[in-house]
């Protein structure tokens, strides 16, 4: 059974660094073809893909935010992390992690429940 769960600070101040963790089970990120992505959704708005990391450790970023994003994974291949630097109110959103299975044209077959992050002074 595949499950993913996001965790984060809930609230942080502008200009700080947001650190998020995605803990998952039911698959290993060391398995060929596995990819975990971060996607966010401001309240009442659409979805924005942020970044991904694959089984080989290759990383992919949305160019619109690339300079502020860092995605990584742990050595046990059961957690993926996302850091966003210099946050501001526009980063207030629900953040999801989701799994993709390659090869093919990437889509997200399993999603976490999401973690709400509010940026406010």
- Residues at the site binding other proteins, with contacts judged by CB under 8 A: 37, 46-49, 52, 60-64, 96, 104-114
Closest CA to 39 of 24, 29, 51: 51
Task: Kindly state the smallest distance separating residue 68's Cβ from other proteins, in Å.
Answer: 14
Nearer to other proteins, 16 or 48 (CB): 48
- Of 76 and 105, the one with the shorter C-beta distance to other proteins is 105
How near is the Cβ of 10 to other proteins at its closest, in Å?
17
Distance CA 101, CA 81 (A): 18
Whether a cis peptide bond, with omega within 30° of 0, leads into 28 is: no
Which CB, 16 or 47, lies closer to other proteins?
A: 47
Q: How many residues does the chain have?
A: 121
Q: What is the DSSP letter of 94?
A: E
Nearest to 84, CA basis, from 37, 7, 20: 20
In this complex, which beta carbon is closest to other proteins, that of residue 81 or of residue 110? 110
What is the smallest separation between the CB atom of 45 and other proteins, expressed in angstroms? 8
């Amino acid at each position: 059974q595949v499950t993913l769960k996001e965790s984060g600070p809930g609230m942080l101040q502008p200009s700080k660094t947001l650190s998020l963790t995605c803990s998952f089970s039911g698959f290993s990120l060391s398995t060929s073809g596995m990819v975990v992505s971060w996607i966010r959704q401001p309240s009442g708005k659409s979805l924005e893909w942020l970044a991904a990391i694959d089984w080989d450790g290759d990383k992919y970023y949305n160019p619109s935010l690339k300079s502020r994003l860092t995605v990584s994974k742990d050595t046990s291949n059961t957690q993926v992390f996302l850091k966003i630097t210099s946050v501001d109110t526009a980063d207030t959103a629900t953040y999801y992690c989701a799994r993709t299975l390659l090869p093919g044209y990437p889509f997200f077959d399993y999603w976490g429940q999401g973690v709400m992050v509010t940026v406010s002074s």
